[in-house]
Amino acid sequence: MLPADSADRLASGNREASLGDRAMAGRRFALSAKVLVRDEHGRVLLLKRSANSKNNRGKWDLPGGKVDTGESFDEALLREVAEETGLTVSLVGVAGAAESDLPDRKVVYLLMEGNLTSGEVRLSDEHNEFAWVERSRLAAVDVCEQFRSFLEAYGGQAG
């Protein structure tokens, strides 16, 4: 979702000003891949960010992370899931997208659906808890702000 001032400029036909503002601010886009890992019961894996996390301390998050230079998003996603959880997953498809603003960049998140194929959760230092959450209960969890509206909608599609 665009910030209100950007949406107003786009609606008024001033797209160039919006893009120019971002470029002048020196902000770049970064791609992060996240996965909604589902177990055999259809529950979604959430990870609680540790107290030493740079961003979103104590919030629930999805497994995944940054795409390194030269790495495809699916390679990055599978690597990050393995590093953060010790799990192997199979990717199913695109679930959606989200974004967040950081002081030096805008992070665009590609959200994928995936199924657990093997392993037991072994958390990295980035997280200190995990939970398998029923899809219909995702809206009740204190997740990172950038994923809140997506997870509310995704959970509302449970059926």
pLDDT by residue (tens digit) across 1-43?
Answer: 434 443 443 343 443 444 445 443 567 998 899 999 999 999 9
Q: Phi and psi (nearest 5°) for 13? A: 85, 10
**pTM of the entire predicted model:** 0.80
Per the CB < 8 A criterion, the answer to whether 33 and 75 are in contact is: no
Write the CA distances from 132 to 57, 74, 84, integer angstroms: 19, 22, 15
| Residue whose pair of structure tokens reads 């996603």 in the numeric block | 77
User: Checking DSSP bridges between strand 28-38 and strand 64-66, what pairing results, if any?
Assistant: antiparallel
User: Which residues, 6+ apart, have CB-to-CB distance to 12 below 8 Å?
Assistant: none
The structural domains of the chain, ordered by start, are 28-156 (3.90.79.10)
User: Checking DSSP bridges between strand 28-38 and strand 105-118, what pairing results, if any?
Assistant: parallel
pLDDT in tens, the chain (159 residues): 434 443 443 343 443 444 445 443 567 998 899 999 999 999 999 999 998 877 888 899 999 998 888 998 789 899 999 999 999 999 999 999 999 998 889 999 999 999 999 999 999 999 999 999 999 999 999 999 999 999 999 998 865
In whole angstroms, give the CA distance from residue 37 to residue 70. Answer: 24
In whole angstroms, give the CA distance from residue 152 to residue 114. Answer: 18
Per the CB < 8 A criterion, the answer to whether 145 and 129 are in contact is: no
Per the CB < 8 A criterion, the answer to whether 85 and 132 are in contact is: no
The HSE-up count of residue 52 (CA atoms within 13 Å, CB side) is 5
